[in-house]
Structure 1
Amino acid sequence: MKIKILTILFGWLLYSNISAQEECLIKINIHSNRDMIYASINDGEYYFVNSQLALPVGIHKIKFTDSIKEWGSEVIEKEVKINNCDEVLNLTADFDERTLIISSPDADITSNDSIIGYTPIRLPMSFNEVHLSRKNYSSEKISLQNIPEQPRVKLNFLGKEYDEPFIHSTLFKILVGSAVALGATAAYFKIEADNNFDKYTETRQSVYLDNTDKYDLYSGLAFGALQINFGVLLYYFLIE
């Protein structure tokens, strides 16, 4: 009986010790050269951390980054193994010196003809010089050493500026009006061709067959011009 009681007591103590270790949270001190950093625990979502993390017993994969919104942000990976609740752990997350590049508008960043990201972006100082480019805008070559003096790089617009929207222009009204006229013309000549063909089938007179061919030709020409008209309309809508 005593042996049974001792066995139960020992099992309860062992279970309590294991449960306590699983429930305890170890504080991990974080040392970094950044004022604000974000952490991801075991591939979870990034969240802001101050100077400490609290994790249970076990093995954990931790990722640190100094930004979750900018291209080119550095990621530091650490793996920690927590064996018991009495441990005191310290982690260091020192990031490389990087420069924030902002442009107006946002642009591609290239170095040696290779795209490395898009603004806003943080780049290591080892790049020295990079190119900013965007379609219909001037390209700029900048030195990372001069970025603190010019925090935002402005790209000049080189495309065509329109004084008014295309749908309010005279050309739009002409194209729409001509589309209506060409559509009506094509329909009119097609009806005339059908009527003359009906007369030809009734009378078998060649003059009606000639008229059918003539009106079909006119209808086809008008319909072709209508398609060109629609193509021009679509072109101006797309380039605007």
Structure 2
Amino acid sequence: MSTTGLGFSGEVADHYARFRPGYPRQVIDALVQKLGLTSEHRVLDLGCGTGQLAVPLSEHVGRVVAVDPEPDMLAHGPRRPNVEWRLGSDADVPELGRFDAVVVGQALHWMDHERLFREADTAKFAIVANGTPLWLQHPAIREVLEDWFGRPMTAGCGTDAVARHRYAKALAAAGFTPHEWTVGHTHVHTIDELAGSLFSAMSPETLPSPPDRPLFREKLREALRADTYAEPVTVTVISTP
């Protein structure tokens, strides 16, 4: 899986934009309600990727500044009149000014979260984990990946309980009052969509070559003994109302 904040380039970014699941409406509605967001507010989506949070949030707020360190990810961001796509990282946040809220979707593990919580000029945070990584959900998926790459697949990407406790503790140390809440749903992937979602989490160097991708998909199909995979998703949010 990617090892740097700039690993989501080229075809990986293409797969991310096409296959990475976004957030269901109930998550967006809950974020808006819990953060008290209105059309008067300016929101920062940090580590925005291709806009899975920025775009739906833009329907509820006055402006979203969507920041990511990878140009190829930003290039996939849909054009919206009130979404500003900017190249940058958490280190740039102090220069971006005041925000009514800062949201981070499945990206905080790439950042210096303690510094971010201290330096961001905002009264509200929402740290969003869009379920657990696919390879930690189903042993068959993990076995395919471990056989393909020849190494254990254990990365939690900041979604596990230990990481969430660390983030909540750091928010409290920065003067916030964090609360954790969840929204559960099911996302059904075809095998092609499942492979594409897995490809979106790989680095350009480890992405299977185009001739090898049909074999990778077939290994997934054989391991799961099905043409679809129903992913149980628990979106977990740490917010500071």
TM-score range, shorter-chain basis? under 0.3
TM-score (normalised: structure 1): 0.18
Relative contact order (C-alpha < 8 Å, sep 6+): which is higher? 2
TM-score (normalised: structure 2): 0.18
